[in-house]
Amino acid sequence: MAGTFLETPIEYLKGVGPERGKSLRAELSIECFADLLSYYPFRYVDRTKFHKTTELDADMPYVQLKGKIISMEVIGKSRPQRLVAVFKDDFGKIDLVWFQGIKWVKNSIKPGTEYVIFGKPTVFNGKFNIAHPEVDEVNEENLKLQSALQAMYNSTEKLKLKGLDSRGISKLVRALMQTSDNKIPENLPVEIINSNHFISRGSAFYQIHLPANPELLKKAELRLKFEELFYIQLMLLRQKAINQKIYHGFRFGSIGEHFNAFFKNNLPFELTNAQKRVLKEIRSDVGSGKHMNRLLQGDVGSGKTIVALMTMLMALDNGFQACLMAPTEILAVQHFESITALLKGMNIKVGLLTGSSKGSARKQIHEQLLSGEMHILLGTHALIEPIVQFKNLGMVVVDEQHRFGVEQRAKLWRKNVNPPHVLIMTATPIPRTLAMTLYGDLDVSVIDELPPGRQPIKTIHLFDSNRLKIHGFMKEQIKLGRQIYVVYPLIEESEKMDYKDLMEGYESMLRAFPRPEYQVSVVHGRMTAKDKDFEMQRFQKNQTNIMVATTVIEVGVNIPNASVMVIESAERFGLSQLHQLRGRVGRGADQSYCMLVTSFKLSADAKLRLETMCKTNDGFEIADVDLRLRGPGDLAGTQQSGLPDFKISNIATDGAILTEARNAALKILEDDPQFSQPKNNVIALYLNFINRNKQDWARIS
């Protein structure tokens, strides 16, 4: 049976045994031969190159030196002792130091013999030394064992105590390679291998651990990345197909009264082509009887709200209720107000439920939902509490989903016998590659067009020494009748300090913009919802010129007359946050501005973030840079999203391979969904293998 060799428990490998086996399992989840093979090196060291003792630099992660040990001395009479050896090459000398295993090292080193030394140089007492270096005698046998590119493996303190540092792991891998001839089964169909010119699976494993040269290493990486991404896509796509079979969605057979009346009488503007296209996509989902699970991506200000509303009307027209869940109270209230206004004159009952809804109002809402009297419910996560029950919920819209965990979304699904249709809206554009991996089981719609008449926001970066200039500009804009946001960072760990920054900023604003000529309001996380709301309202009604705030205004707030966004300590914000904040302006017809204010001291990453913001308004471009800077794990909202653990691929940089892999998976699922053709037998076998050895993969399906 395929896979049995690879499934051999790790203890049985020469050089492992029960004790090391236990540690490998506990520390690195290496249970069997296959796990060791896919414990990939994190770096390769070119062992054909030697440094000179005279060119060391404390920033070097490691160096390789060739020379002799000319003297050794144990320093200290009792513990802790250390062994210091003087190492000399053709250029100079450095110290090698051991704090452990002193006796053994001392006995095994032969003065006068030529050695290759490998380790990280550090500075001690103004001199370079290397602590616990690898020491290899220069002889035929050692040279043979080493490939030019030596693999380096991550290890842990516990494993190192058992002799399994990078070198120890490397030895195990080598031992495994020696017994694995022809025992590593192929897991990709011949067609895919041939058309992509892939090397075999066996040689890919060999070359990734013991590369003969850089070209073969590249080929091995490509093959293994493809294989990893191919199987992730195959499983996601297959799951999607299965879901569609199991879960039947409510069929919204017709578009009727509400939708049409709204379109005819209440729609305040012409829909953009992108909005129309997305509505058609949604319409076709809900009309088909399949269960809709759709991600709607649209940059800030692209007009997602109206799409959400019209989607909910489709549900109403078919006798269902709908709800929309927003991430913050401010947003929920804003949705309630704008949707109530949009539905004016129509016979539709809309409710608002948030954390601060009063007991009696809450009770009434619960009753109206159960009786079916309430048609549309808007709110915060208060919506997902089990006590909130609907008569017949048919459509759930989740706004700005990155604030919601997967688990919370799932709870909403359970609010009817069949899961309601789900539309998840996000203004954090997710790069295509990430969307494919994260949401391989969702359909994706994109609003890639802004409503007409918008001018691109002008973004500039300024140092805080230019404050007078900034204030001058703000005053000009206020004279023109515009309103301004000034935002301070809020980072949870240092909430106290941030609060202080914010309040100091507020006070300095009050000094620079004195009453009664100017009105300045403030909103922050420590205020009660009611006070926040009051201040927001004042700003919304244009009763104040400047709104000083923390990132509470980050998502969704829509005040078209606000045309300047000043972001203080902009270097402390992530790219997607900066983009979200900037999206608060540029919503009206006026030219809008975003000013990124920072100190002089900027890290390279911060500089790149600021440059990116000044260069582009395109959310997708920004998301790509963000992904590159931060890696997928850090992207907003992806932490709990079940992003699989990639062993070798990097979705920030392997987008092209991912696309290939996905297309290959799609083609196979189309041709042969059960993998029953002989040529696809390898897939069936490998999927069985994965199922038997689930751990990492369990999270995907």
Which of 305/437 has CB closer to Mg ion? Answer: 305
Which of 28/306 has CB closer to Mg ion? Answer: 306
We find the least distance from the C-beta atom of residue 378 to Mg ion, in angstroms, to be 12
Q: CA dist 572 to 13, 461, 593, 602, 605, Å?
A: 49, 14, 20, 10, 11
302 binds ligand ADP (CB under 6 A): yes
451 binds ligand ADP (CB under 6 A): yes
Contact string (CB under 6 A) for ligand ADP, positions 420-449, x = contact: -------x----------------------
| Look-up of token digits 């270097």 | 571
We find the least distance from the C-beta atom of residue 291 to ligand ADP, in angstroms, to be 25
Angle formed at CA 640 by CA 634 and CA 644, multiple of 5 degrees: 80
Neighbouring CB atoms inside 10 A of 693's CB total 16
3-state SS, residue 556: coil
687: left (phi over 0), alpha (psi -120 to 50) or beta: alpha
3-state SS, residue 148: coil
Q: CA dist 409 to 357, 401, 412, 422, Å?
A: 21, 9, 5, 9
327 binds ligand ADP (CB under 6 A): no
Q: CA dist 230 to 92, 205, 318, 437, 681, Å?
A: 52, 17, 40, 11, 15
**Edge-to-edge order in the sheet of strand 93-98:** 121-124, 127-131, 93-98, 82-88, 63-75, 114-119, 134-137
301 binds, among ligand ADP, Mg ion, none (CB under 5 to 8 A by kind): ligand ADP
Say which DSSP state 67 is in. Answer: E
Which of 41/556 has CB closer to Mg ion? Answer: 556
CA-nearest of 440, 249, 255, 420 to 325 is 420
- Tell me which of 185, 303, 379, 632 binds ligand ADP, using CB under 6 A: 303
We find the least distance from the C-beta atom of residue 168 to ligand ADP, in angstroms, to be 54
We find the least distance from the C-beta atom of residue 300 to Mg ion, in angstroms, to be 7
Residue 464 · residue 597 · CB < 8 Å: yes
271 binds, among ligand ADP, Mg ion, none (CB under 5 to 8 A by kind): ligand ADP
Say which DSSP state 266 is in. Answer: I
Which of 311/569 has CB closer to ligand ADP? Answer: 311
Angle formed at CA 436 by CA 434 and CA 437, multiple of 5 degrees: 65
3-state SS, residue 533: helix
We find the least distance from the C-beta atom of residue 147 to ligand ADP, in angstroms, to be 54
We find the least distance from the C-beta atom of residue 447 to ligand ADP, in angstroms, to be 7
- Tell me which of 217, 306, 668, 682 binds ligand ADP, using CB under 6 A: 306
We find the least distance from the C-beta atom of residue 413 to ligand ADP, in angstroms, to be 23
Contact string (CB under 6 A) for ligand ADP, positions 532-561, x = contact: ------------------------x-x-x-
Q: CA dist 91 to 53, 56, 78, 87, 245, Å?
A: 6, 12, 34, 11, 72
CA-nearest of 349, 384, 354 to 369 is 349
Angle formed at CA 21 by CA 34 and CA 203, multiple of 5 degrees: 25
Of 111-119, 293-301, 383-391, 434-442: span binding ligand ADP (CB under 6 A)? 293-301
Which of 338/616 has CB closer to Mg ion? Answer: 338
**What torsion, rounded to 10 degrees, do the Cα atoms 607, 611, 613, 616 define?**
-160
Which of 219/304 has CB closer to ligand ADP? Answer: 304
Task: Tell me phi and psi for residue 412, to 5 degrees.
Answer: -65, -35
Which of 121/556 has CB closer to Mg ion? Answer: 556
185 binds Mg ion (CB under 5 A): no
We find the least distance from the C-beta atom of residue 324 to ligand ADP, in angstroms, to be 11
We find the least distance from the C-beta atom of residue 482 to ligand ADP, in angstroms, to be 16
| Look-up of token digits 């919304």 | 540
CA-nearest of 439, 414, 411 to 426 is 439
12 binds ligand ADP (CB under 6 A): no
We find the least distance from the C-beta atom of residue 11 to Mg ion, in angstroms, to be 56
- Tell me which of 238, 294, 304, 579 binds ligand ADP, using CB under 6 A: 304
We find the least distance from the C-beta atom of residue 263 to ligand ADP, in angstroms, to be 13
CA-nearest of 366, 374, 417, 420 to 397 is 420
- Judged by CB under 5 A, how many residues of this single chain contact Mg ion? 1
Which of 299/498 has CB closer to ligand ADP? Answer: 299
Which of 487/661 has CB closer to Mg ion? Answer: 487
325 binds, among Mg ion, ligand ADP, none (CB under 5 to 8 A by kind): none
- The two tokens of residue 621 are 């471009």
587 binds, among Mg ion, ligand ADP, none (CB under 5 to 8 A by kind): ligand ADP
683 CB contacts (<8 Å, ≥6 apart)? 187, 189, 234, 668, 675
Say which DSSP state 481 is in. Answer: T
Neighbouring CB atoms inside 10 A of 164's CB total 24
271 binds ligand ADP (CB under 6 A): yes
Which of 256/451 has CB closer to ligand ADP? Answer: 451
- Tell me which of 119, 185, 211, 298 binds ligand ADP, using CB under 6 A: 298
- Tell me which of 272, 297, 328, 437 binds ligand ADP, using CB under 6 A: 272
290-349 residues near Mg ion, rule: CB under 5 A: none
- Judged by CB under 6 A, how many residues of this single chain contact ligand ADP? 18
d(CA 352, CA 368): 12
We find the least distance from the C-beta atom of residue 306 to Mg ion, in angstroms, to be 10
586-625 residues near ligand ADP, rule: CB under 6 A: 587
510-569 residues near Mg ion, rule: CB under 5 A: 556
| Look-up of token digits 């399992």 | 25
558 binds, among ligand ADP, Mg ion, none (CB under 5 to 8 A by kind): ligand ADP
We find the least distance from the C-beta atom of residue 9 to ligand ADP, in angstroms, to be 54
d(CA 26, CA 39): 14
Of 234-242, 270-278, 461-469, 480-488: span binding ligand ADP (CB under 6 A)? 270-278
301 binds ligand ADP (CB under 6 A): yes
Residue type, 549: A
First to last CA, the chain: 25
592-611 residues near Mg ion, rule: CB under 5 A: none
Neighbouring CB atoms inside 10 A of 114's CB total 14
Neighbouring CB atoms inside 10 A of 659's CB total 15
Task: Tell me phi and psi for residue 695, to 5 degrees.
Answer: 0, -70
Angle formed at CA 220 by CA 219 and CA 224, multiple of 5 degrees: 120
We find the least distance from the C-beta atom of residue 551 to ligand ADP, in angstroms, to be 16
451 binds, among ligand ADP, Mg ion, none (CB under 5 to 8 A by kind): ligand ADP
d(CA 97, CA 103): 13
Alpha helices by DSSP H, 403-521: 406-413, 432-438, 467-479, 495-512
We find the least distance from the C-beta atom of residue 562 to ligand ADP, in angstroms, to be 12
Which of 437/580 has CB closer to Mg ion? Answer: 580
We find the least distance from the C-beta atom of residue 587 to Mg ion, in angstroms, to be 11
147-166 residues near ligand ADP, rule: CB under 6 A: none
300 binds, among Mg ion, ligand ADP, none (CB under 5 to 8 A by kind): ligand ADP
Q: Which residues bind ligand ADP (CB under 6 A)?
A: 269, 271-272, 275, 298, 300-306, 427, 451, 556, 558, 560, 587
Q: Which residues bind Mg ion (CB under 5 A)?
A: 556
